[in-house]
Amino acid sequence: MESSTISPAAGRAVDAPTLGEALRRTAANHPDIVAVRTPDDSVSLTWSELLKRVEDVAGGLAKLGVGHGDTVAIMLGNRPEFHIVDLAAAMLGATPFSIYLTYPPAEIQYLLSDAAAKVAVVEQAYLEPLLEARQDLETLAHLIVVDPDGTREGTTSLADVEASNPGYDAADANVGPDDLVTLIYTSGTTGPPKGVQLCHHNVMAAAQTVERLHTGAGRPLPPARTSSGAGKAPVRLRAWMTYPLEYPMIRAAPAASTSSSGSPPRLT
């Protein structure tokens, strides 16, 4: 495994050139600190455990043909698997993106087509509209269901994907700082949604800015957690994940309702 070659001497996670390298450095420097957990601790993963699961899912995705430059759609609620799949795709040099949970099939199909998604990862609650949206999409080759008892004909469980390619070495992906790490689609209020492209360098620069702002002012970082509004895709907290010394945990929080003004969810 690539992670076994990373030592604490590799440097700080916040200075890593890519998100995958930041994860590997964090896991090497803080293997036993909790990285992702649910509020009731029914799921609790340390950084080393998170890295292992990310690498295993990356291996499974690679076996399905996902590689550098491909896109992976994610239609999941606020749950730990979101981060695992998101990081796994990024580690391969693929580009993950989120789909709003309230989108009807026609809008889901538009995003899948516009992004040319090769794989979609979904939970059982949103499987039906995604199955309908999948019709007539030649680019979407694989549909992965997170819930083990939620698979249907033509779908694969995340557990099977995760176990399908043990020992995969993500170093072969050769991901660089200028490679895309995500697409963030606009709401489409004035026209069709548009995918905003961010590369690894963008995300790591944001993490470095957070560090400079907070350490320069002498204030500790606030507790990091995920927060999602009703029917909204989870807020991504990648920048927080690269700064584990003060607040290492990413908590999958219960969904919060949107404000009366309809503004997007905010970090709390």
Q: What is the mean pLDDT of residues 107-121?
A: 96
pLDDT at 91: 96
- CATH classification of 2-37+52-250 is 3.40.50.300, yes or no? no
180-185: strand order across its sheet: 156-157, 142-145, 117-122, 71-75, 95-98, 180-185, 195-199
**Between β-strands 195-199 and 156-157, what pairing exists: parallel, antiparallel or unpaired?**
unpaired
Question: In the chain, where are the structural domains located?
Answer: 2-37+52-250
Average pLDDT, the chain: 81
Q: What predicted TM-score, i.e. pTM, was given to this entire model?
A: 0.78
pLDDT at 164: 96
The percent of residues in the chain predicted with pLDDT above 90, rounded, is 63
Higher pLDDT, 57 or 255: 57
Q: Note the pLDDT tens digit of each residue in 134-169.
A: 998 989 999 999 998 888 888 999 999 999 999 898
pLDDT at 212: 85
pLDDT at 263: 37
List, in sequence order, every beta strand (DSSP E) within the chain: 34-37, 44-46, 71-75, 95-98, 117-122, 142-145, 156-157, 180-185, 195-199, 225-226, 250-252
**Reported confidence tier of residue 266, pLDDT bands at 50, 70, 90:** very low
Q: Is the pLDDT of residue 237 over 60?
A: no
pLDDT at 267: 30
